[in-house]
Amino acid sequence: MTFLKNTSTYLIATLFIISIACNSAKEQPAENNKPRVIVTSDGEIDDECSLVRFLLYTNEWDVEGIITSSSQYHWQGHRWAGDDWLDPYLEAYSEVYPNLILHDPAYPSPAYLKSISLLGNVASKGEMDSITAGSQHIVKVLLDESDDRPVWLQAWGGTNTIARALRTIKDDHPEKMEYAANKMRFFFIWEQDSTYQAYIRPHWGKYNIPTIISDQFWAIAYQWDKIIPEDKIDYFKVDWMKSNILENHGPLCSLYQAYQGGEDNEGWSAGSPKQKGSFRSEGDSPAFLHNIPTGLRNMESPDFGGWGGRYTKVRENTWLDPVPLEGYQYPEGRWFTGTAWGRNYMRNTYPENQDQMNVYFKPLVRWMDVLQNDFAARADWCVKSYEDANHPPVVKLENALDLTAKPGEHIQLSAKETYDPDGDKISFNWWQYAEADTYAGHIEINDPENQEISFTVPADVAPGETIHVVCEVTDNGSPQLTRYQRVIIRTVK
């Protein structure tokens, strides 16, 4: 099927999908377990790239807000993308929406996304004095007692609009601070202004709001060509990008801000793979990659690891990037371009000690080929029929996802109920996610490429230690797509 263009086709498709949705809704449980997300963004070039990918995954979440904020790099009058920078992307989304809902009726309507796309605090870097439409919208979502599900507040730029919203709650609704705090989850791409340290931590820190602050994102930011290894880097070069994203994939993907050649307009030097049309930067994407339900269960704890990286608890309820240096002392204050280990390594040390670099960025880099294939499939959803596109396998295990076992016990796991919605052939790979384990040793998995596997819990596992085993399933469609289920074994006496 070609891309749906005319109004009559749009209406027919929409009515058909609504019918399917209504019928299927009768079969679904009433509880909605979708992640809820609010994005704040400063509209930098890489935010624009991230937004294209984000919009193609909006079926996976309940999107509660897309709010323009500022940062230490961008604000009104200073390298500013404009108050209306979101508009062309939302308009392009509306054009591909009729085709997207052929693949999943859960995609939000264009009208809805436009209604929650608002202007936040943008007058200057770190400005949080003004009450804005964006900050008030965050207040409304957090104080809405009709929905107690967690809300992931993502800062692709500065945290100032989030800080303004929290200040409003503290000033006007102090009795609801604990309620709001219990709903919040933070994922920040650096601390791109001072408001987290100056306001949020001092006034809201007592609530231990789960907070991830990422520096690993630099692996897919402006210096990706120096970080991503040779076995994955072709997924970011011009030929792959043109074939899978930029060309013949509809108006939304055609807006993707690919590399222009020469010097990037953010000022980072070009590396040799950066030919015109190649990947530019999506430094903000880990914030929402973390929220894609892939089966890796990474939203349960930042140190589990997933498409958005893996993080270690540093203080209070704050999780930063695991630094591969024994005795490393994390800064007490901001984790950002001036202090974060990875950015400073790339600035001051690269190309020396690349083994350290590889370890540091591995929690994110390990998924790069899978992520790009998944992106390519979503781009296909913009223009192809369901039958002509690929969709990820559904991984189902016959055993529980949380098990207890004694040292020496024999464990059997089965994924026999796993299937592919397109009828594609699927392959299995079971592996130990050693970095996520609290057990420091190794397990020997029997027949890791089979649907069913077994292993023996090592004799030296201490009570309470955990072993993480991932069932990874990949189809043979085009592009190949991968999903997972993670089993966590906790040992007992």
Omega prior to 110 cis, within 30 of 0: no
Q: Environment class of residue 270 by beta-carbon count within 10 Å: exposed (0-12), middle (13-18) or buried (19+)?
A: middle
- Distances 382 to 2, 13, 94, 244 between C-alpha atoms, Å: 9, 14, 11, 12
**Is pLDDT of 29 > 80?**
no
Residues 6+ apart with CB under 8 A from 340: 190, 215, 321
Please report the pLDDT score of residue 32 as a whole number: 79
Report which of 296, 477, 246, 470 is spatially closest to residue 373, judged by C-alpha positions: 477
**Is pLDDT of 18 > 90?**
no
Please report the pLDDT score of residue 150 as a whole number: 98
Please report the pLDDT score of residue 31 as a whole number: 61
Report DSSP state, residue 200: I
pLDDT tens, residue by residue, 254-279: 999 999 876 554 444 444 558 999 99
Confidence of residue 4 (pLDDT cuts 50, 70, 90): very low
Please report the pLDDT score of residue 102 as a whole number: 98
pLDDT tens, residue by residue, 190-246: 999 999 999 999 999 999 999 999 999 999 999 999 999 999 999 999 999 999 999
pLDDT tens, residue by residue, 280-323: 999 999 999 999 999 999 999 999 999 999 999 999 999 999 99
Cβ atoms within 10 Å, residue 459: 9
Tell me what the pLDDT averaged over the chain comes to. 93
pLDDT tens, residue by residue, 432-452: 999 999 999 999 999 999 999
Could you tell me the two tokens for 277? Answer: 């049309």
Q: For residue 61, what is the enclosing H or E element?
A: none
76 vs 78: CA distance, rounded Å: 6
- Distances 352 to 340, 357, 365, 443, 492 between C-alpha atoms, Å: 18, 9, 19, 33, 44
Q: Is 477 helix (H, G, I), strand (E, B) or coil?
A: coil
Q: For residue 159, what is the enclosing H or E element?
A: none
What share of the chain has pLDDT > 70, as a percent? 91
CB 62 within 8 A of CB 151: no
238 vs 276: CA distance, rounded Å: 7
Could you tell me the two tokens for 343? Answer: 């950015």
**Is pLDDT of 136 > 60?**
yes
292 vs 227: CA distance, rounded Å: 24
Confidence of residue 54 (pLDDT cuts 50, 70, 90): very high
Please report the pLDDT score of residue 262 as a whole number: 63
281 vs 218: CA distance, rounded Å: 9
Confidence of residue 12 (pLDDT cuts 50, 70, 90): very low
Cβ atoms within 10 Å, residue 104: 15
92 vs 270: CA distance, rounded Å: 29
Q: Is 266 helix (H, G, I), strand (E, B) or coil?
A: coil
Residue with tokens 């970095």: 435
96 vs 250: CA distance, rounded Å: 7
> pTM for the complete prediction?
0.93
**Is pLDDT of 7 > 60?**
no
Omega prior to 479 cis, within 30 of 0: yes
Could you tell me the two tokens for 85? Answer: 């920078």
Strand 410-414 relative to strand 452-456, pairing: antiparallel
CATH 3.40.50.360 assigned to domain 1-388? The reply is no
Of the candidate ranges 146-150, 270-274, 311-315, 464-468, the one whose mean pLDDT is the lowest: 270-274
**Is pLDDT of 466 > 70?**
yes
486 vs 466: CA distance, rounded Å: 12
CATH superfamily name and code, 390-491? Immunoglobulins (2.60.40.10)
Classify the C-alpha dihedral 382-48-340-315 as positive or negative: negative
Q: For residue 208, what is the enclosing H or E element?
A: none
Please report the pLDDT score of residue 10 as a whole number: 38
Please report the pLDDT score of residue 376 as a whole number: 99
Please report the pLDDT score of residue 270 as a whole number: 43
Q: Count of residues for the chain?
A: 493
Please report the pLDDT score of residue 21 as a whole number: 40
Residue with tokens 């859960």: 106
Strand 318-320 relative to strand 312-315, pairing: antiparallel
**Is pLDDT of 78 > 70?**
yes
What share of the chain has pLDDT > 90, as a percent? 90
Confidence of residue 3 (pLDDT cuts 50, 70, 90): very low
Q: Per-domain residue ranges for the chain?
A: 1-388, 390-491
